Every structure is written in structure tokens, then in C-alpha cells.
Amino acid sequence: MIISKATYTDTSKNIAGVVGIFIDITERKQAEQRLSEEVALKNFLLELFKKALSLTDKDLYDYVLDYVVRITGSTIGFFHLVSEDQKNVILTTWNTEALNNCTAAYATHYPLDQAGNWVDCVRLRRPVVYNEFPSSPNQKGLPEGHTPIKRFMSVPVVEGDKVRIIFGVGNKSEEYNELDAGRIQVVANDLQRIMTQRRAEEALKEESRRLQQALDEVRTLRGIVPICANCKKIRDDKGFWNQVEKYVSERTEAEFSHGICPDCAKKLYPDIYKEKKMNDMERSVILLVDDEEDFRMIFIRQIKRILKDLEFEFIEASDGEEALKLLKGGAKPSIIILDYAMPKINGVELLRRIDRDHNDLYDVPRIMISGYAQKEIISEAQSLRCVFFGKNTDNIFYQQICQYMANALVDLAHKKKGV
């Protein structure tokens, strides 16, 4: 408050009275205080980015938590991470005063569905304030030895559709307000940005390390590799003999699948390939069901290019209803390849109807190719004796499909011959 006063006198020069003006400057002082706090907050954020260059994750969490407790006038505070599956809270750190006055024991992971209202901010995805904590809802009780809670506020950091971190503070001498929540939110968001950048840098370093290792291994493979002329095993640099798959897999990121090449198949199953040359041999028919015409065209072209030594033909359907009409009209496919998401009838329902109406196709191999790779869809497909491939356009995708098709056709020929 500002006071301004002045006296006035009478004609005899005696003081006759006093005139005073009182000005309430509370709002101005509060505004100045808020401005000062905002400046301090910005300075802290600048310092935070500098500290991030040298502090470990744990030290960075402690540094930010102590600041959050201080600017809100709290006496206790915690910082927790939320697991990637959003089912557990990872108990990370408490402020120094809380640890000194609290003897409760905590697990490192705590299931969200068992937690009390201290994780309501995760459930609601917004700051939550309980200024009368003893009478607040959703309480699960405090563990033995825990500091009593009078007031409590928790603030989440939401990134995309997931909550990443939680800040909690408690026991402020007066009520928590939106200003407190806003300041914590600003600090928490910047901390999350720092941690996201740190994880990206760590991933980049790991990828660089793996790339360098791969390059070193490629250089090794460029040299002369001793291979047994009889069993085709490879001798490593320690003198041990290894299968080709083991040797290459340990030195590269290559993975092996096993099938039978056309030349070997002819040697192993001469009776099957002899019959393939006979005029009365029926060609293998592949039913391709997909509502994307461009995908069907590219898929057929790629499969024919890779499996050029096998005799088969494609019949196409743009949806489940058209496929059922083809089957009703007498089509007898050797393999059924279908999408999941299609108009009228999806892929899973189509398989169910085929099982219901076409018993003769029960053993026909089935392949579902879809961009919808949810566990439920894959599980349903597998329950209907159908293998699942995520829809793609690269060479590896087509090679895997062709490998399965080739094996399936050979197996089908075995069944027909009773091999």
C-alpha cells in the first residue's frame, strides 16, 4: 500500500488538518511477483537444457523434481514414468525431503489398475488437484510409513495417445491452483522433449554401432572363405566348421528360411514332376481375392516372375461375394490368397463360409495378406488354418509368399499321390 499525505494550516499558521491518499497496490505487486516467477521459470528451462548435456537420467529427474517442489511451495514430490504398454507406473524418484521423512517401502513397478487417485491424472489425461486429500475419491490408502498427505496435485505429460511421465507434489501450505499446474506442465513437457531427443540420439548411436559392425563383418566375408567340398560347411577364423546358415547369420543380419529349389524338387520327387509334363495333368489354380485391382496386378506379375518354373494360373475376385460365386460355379483352387479388409464380406468371414459350404476345400492352403495386422485378426486367421502376411511391396515379401506357395503346392501334390 502507498500512502501520500499533506497538512494544511489556518490563517494563524496552525495545523488545521491532514489530507491523505491511500493506494492499494496489491494487484500490482502480485503481477510483479508473477512476472518475476515467469522470468525465473524461463531461466530454469534454459539451464535445464544445459544440464541435460552432462546429467544422467536419474540426476536430471532429481534436478527437475526439486525445482517443481520448490516453485509450488510443496514439501513432497515424486516423478514417475509410465510403461510403454500403459499398464504400469515405474516408480522413479522422490524429492529429498520426502525420502527423509518417509519410511514406506515401494516396488519399482506398480500396476495402474491397482493404483489409487495419485494416478488419476493418467486416467483422465489432465492435471488433477485434491486440495482436501483425506476426503478425495478413488483412494486406495497410503502404505505404512508414508508421509501424511493434506493436499495433492499430479500432472501428466501426454505424447500422442500415451502418457509418458507423471509429476506429483503435495502438502502446499495453501491450496494448489491452475498456475501451479501450468508451471509444472511447462517444465514437464520440456523434460519429455529432452528425454525423447536423448533416446533418439542413443538409438542413432546404437544403429551406427550396428552398421559399423555389419561393415566389419562384410569385410570379413569379402575374404577367402574355406568351404568343405563335400558337406559345404564353412571354417571360421578359429578353425571350427559351421553350417553355412550359422556362419552367415552370426556375421550378417541375413535370416534363412528353408524350402526346395525346383532342381532339387525334381530329383527328390521325380514322379510328381513327371506327371506335371503329362497332358492330362491339371494346372494349379490360385484364387486371389483383393479389392485393390492394382495390388492384384502387381502381385500376380511378381509371383509369376519368381515362380516361373511352376505351372499355375490365377483366378481373381474383387471381393468375398465374387469369390463365393467363383467357387459355386465350380472353381477348384489349389491355394486361396485373400485380403482381410474388403467390402461386403471380410477375409475371415469368407474363410468361414468356405468351410461351411465347400468341404472339399478344407485342406487347400490359405494365405491372408493384409495391412491390418492386429493380433485379433491374425489369431482369427490362424484358427481358420490360414497363414498371415503383412501387406508389403518389397522383394522379401514376395519371396516369402513364393516360398510358402511352392512348399504348399509340393505338399498338396504329396497328398494327392499319398506320399
Q: What is the pLDDT of residue 279?
A: 37
- Three cell numbers, residue 259: 524350402
Confirm if 181 and 152 have CB atoms less than 8 A apart. Answer: no
Closest CA relative to residue 368, chosen from 390, 398, 399: 390
Confidence of residue 338 (pLDDT cuts 50, 70, 90): very high
Q: Residue 110's beta-bridge partner residues?
A: 89
Summarize the confidence of residues 60-85 as an average pLDDT.
Answer: 91
Alpha-carbon span 399 to 243, nearest angstrom:
23
Between 317 and 6, name the one with better pLDDT.
Answer: 317
Between 362 and 394, name the one with better pLDDT.
Answer: 362
The pTM of this model reads 0.46
Q: Which residues contact 376 (CB under 8 A, 6 or more apart)?
A: none
Between 240 and 119, name the one with better pLDDT.
Answer: 119
Confidence of residue 146 (pLDDT cuts 50, 70, 90): confident
Alpha-carbon span 384 to 346, nearest angstrom:
14
Per-residue pLDDT of 206-247, as tens digits, reads 887 877 766 665 555 555 556 665 666 766 666 677 776 666
Out of 98-112, 180-194, 297-311, which region has the weakest mean confidence (pLDDT)? 98-112
Distance from the first to the final alpha carbon of the chain: 103
- Three cell numbers, residue 374: 492386429
Cα→Cα distances 246→18, 233, 281, Å = 103, 10, 40
Alpha-carbon span 370 to 373, nearest angstrom:
7
Cα→Cα distances 66→42, 62, 141, Å = 16, 6, 25
Q: What is the pLDDT of residue 20?
A: 67
Summarize the confidence of residues 92-115 as an average pLDDT.
Answer: 72
Kindly give the interhelix angle for 293-306 and 395-417, rounded to the nearest 10 degrees. Answer: 70
Please determine, for residue 78, whether its predicted confidence score (pLDDT) is greater than 50.
Answer: yes
> Three-class SS string for the chain?
CEEEEEEEECCCCCEEEEEEEEECCHHHHHHHHHHHHHHHHHHHHHHHHHHCCCCCHHHHHHHHHHHHHHHCCCCEEEEEEECCCCCEEEEEEECHHHHHHCCCCCCCEEEHHHCCHHHHHHHHCCCEEECCHHHCCCCCCCCCCCCCCCCEEEEEEEECCEEEEEEEEECCCCCCCHHHHHHHHHHHHHHHHHHHHHHHHHHHHHHHHHHHHHHHHHHHHHCCCCECCCCCCEECCCCCEECHHHHHHHHCCCCCCCCCCHHHHHHHCHHHHHHHCCCCCCCEEEEEECCCHHHHHHHHHHHHHHCCCCCEEEEEECCHHHHHHHHHCCCCCCEEEECCCCCCCCHHHHHHHHHHHCHHHCCCCEEEEECCCCHHHHHHHHHCCEEEEECCCCHHHHHHHHHHHHHHHHHHHHHHHCC
Alpha-carbon span 323 to 308, nearest angstrom:
25
Looking at every residue in the chain, the average pLDDT score rounds to 80
- Three cell numbers, residue 300: 500376380
Per-residue pLDDT of 273-286, as tens digits, reads 554 443 334 568 99
Per-residue pLDDT of 157-199, as tens digits, reads 998 889 999 999 999 999 999 999 999 999 999 998 998 888 8
Q: Residue 91's beta-bridge partner residues?
A: 80
Confirm if 367 and 404 have CB atoms less than 8 A apart. Answer: yes
Please determine, for residue 106, whether its predicted confidence score (pLDDT) is greater than 60.
Answer: no
Q: What is the pLDDT of residue 328?
A: 92
Confirm if 150 and 111 have CB atoms less than 8 A apart. Answer: no
Q: Give φ, ψ of 33 to 5 degrees.
A: -65, -45
Q: Which residues contact 300 (CB under 8 A, 6 or more apart)?
A: 288, 314, 316
